[in-house]
Structure 1
């Protein structure tokens, strides 16, 4: 499960970057846009994917949907981290494991077992217990961001799993197509902002986007690699990644950004580690 660990690390570093954007007055959306050509170039030059096989109409549609969702949900993740913090955003983002895990059982025909159900139950309890005190009131407009992140991330996880099922196009080629589409969508939106007088270009945002793109690419790449290795147990990858990000994200939020941790949070982090251990048992098939 080394790929899952690397994906967890990259995901948390992405969250840290978003937190620092607000601190250093960096335009997060511009950074998000510049992260996609960076990710596309890394994918192309590092893996040199075979692009000779043209995607069909269905595959192009899938790529376009994923690209649009990635750039949109990435924006809302940034807004959620800026307004609600790393821990609450990680909880909202990774609680979305309900969606891909259910899809593994209902769409990808994975058979649920008692040990897996117990592990998921403990994991969900851990995520709930890891919520920061006093920050679960969704009456405020800003607190709708975590809900958007919840649903969007879950749908993206399901679609990314579909990419691993494509037989004619390597997943690295699929990533190049998706990141390239996201690049065009992103720069098109910046052009619209420029033409309407709403864009004030920040060079530091472009550099921040390059860094963001490196770790964004890493998180998705190693996530898909883990799904390929554990193709018969996608729920294990989903759950381990989600719970791991919440755990590490909570630790970083508390230690680096001084977010408060209650006794319930401590219990939640312990339960998260237990859940990860259970879901990775050899008999959890």
Structure 2
């Protein structure tokens, strides 16, 4: 349980840091790049990945794990960048909805791929969770138009990207003691992808991007690490982790947004927070 709580806290802290970065007009892509350098160092020194017997030919041709960390290595930074584009083309509200509604994919995978057994309490929790999502994301869209091809494509990619990442993290959790190695190599691929992207864009490097990137890297690493540990703790019940993580992040994020960033929460959003808490309680108490 404590692993899940830490993962939720770190995830919300990541969102808060990115919000602060946007207000300071920082280059988010630079933060993402240095974030993965930090994650590589933390995973190497804290998790001590084992590279003994790891041969390049085996990694590319034979290892199922290699497919996971290569895809993760590309998806982790790509979804960060795509999310920024989705906000630009479709607006924050619809982009946030696309990210949170990606919960559909890992929950479906829990039953179709990971063989989780269905139960009445989980059904009640899932129903409450989706009602919670609906009420939390029911916000005025303002004057932002999403009737463009770019907006539609980026929203679909955000939905798919975050859903697939959640499923892949469950796969990483199943590697057991090998997950530090998988994480390290995934972060390495992510760093390479992001720096190549920035070099192509001919970005101007800044000290603030480095410093905020280090902070982002620490929080992001802790978020991913404890999210995977939570999956290992509830290895027979991935729905608990998928649902509690998504709803917990939304509920806490809504509260932080209202208290710290002075964002207005409607009565409808308040109902969503209450339903989200009830959803999590159903998972653990019924």
Report the TM-score, using the length of structure 2 for normalisation: 0.89
Q: Is the 1:84–1:143 contact (alpha carbons within 8 Å) kept by the matching residues of 2?
A: no
Q: Does structure 1 residue 151 correspond to structure 2 residue 160? A: yes
- Which residue in the other structure is 2:183 paired with? 175
Q: Which runs of 5+ in 1 are unaligned?
A: none
Q: Does structure 1 residue 275 correspond to structure 2 residue 283? A: no
Give, in angstroms, the shift of residue 24 of structure 1: 0.7
Q: Does structure 1 residue 39 correspond to structure 2 residue 39? A: yes
Give, in angstroms, the shift of residue 146 of structure 1: 4.9
Find 1:203's aligned residue among 197, 203, 207: 207
Q: Is the 2:91–2:146 contact (alpha carbons within 8 Å) kept by the matching residues of 1?
A: no
Q: Does structure 1 residue 61 correspond to structure 2 residue 70? A: no
Report the TM-score, using the length of structure 1 for normalisation: 0.89
SS in 2 for 1:170: helix
Runs of 4+ in structure 1 over 6 Å off: none
Aligned counterparts, 1:1-285, within 5 A: 1-54=1-54, 56-57=59-60, 58-79=64-85, 84-85=91-92, 90-135=96-141, 138-139=146-147, 145-166=154-175, 170-194=178-202, 199-281=203-285, 283=286
Shift of the 172–81 alpha-carbon distance from structure 1 to 2, 3 Å rule, reads farther
Partners of 1:253 and 1:81 in 2: how far apart?
18
Q: Is the 1:35–1:212 contact (alpha carbons within 8 Å) kept by the matching residues of 2?
A: yes
Shift of the 84–31 alpha-carbon distance from structure 1 to 2, 3 Å rule, reads same
Q: Could you list the per-position Cα deviations for residues 180-236 of structure 1 after superposition, in whole angstroms to 9, with x for gaps in the alignment?
A: 111111222222223xxxx22222111111111111101110000000010000000
Q: Is the 1:132–1:262 contact (alpha carbons within 8 Å) kept by the matching residues of 2?
A: no
Q: Which runs of 5+ in 2 are unaligned?
A: none
Partners of 2:263 and 2:161 in 1: how far apart?
25
Give, in angstroms, the shift of residue 80 of structure 1: 5.3
Q: Could you list the per-position Cα deviations for residues 72-97 of structure 1 after superposition, in whole angstroms to 9, with x for gaps in the alignment?
A: 11223345568845x76554323211
SS in 1 for 2:141: coil
SS in 2 for 1:134: coil
SS in 2 for 1:251: helix
Equivalenced residue count is 276
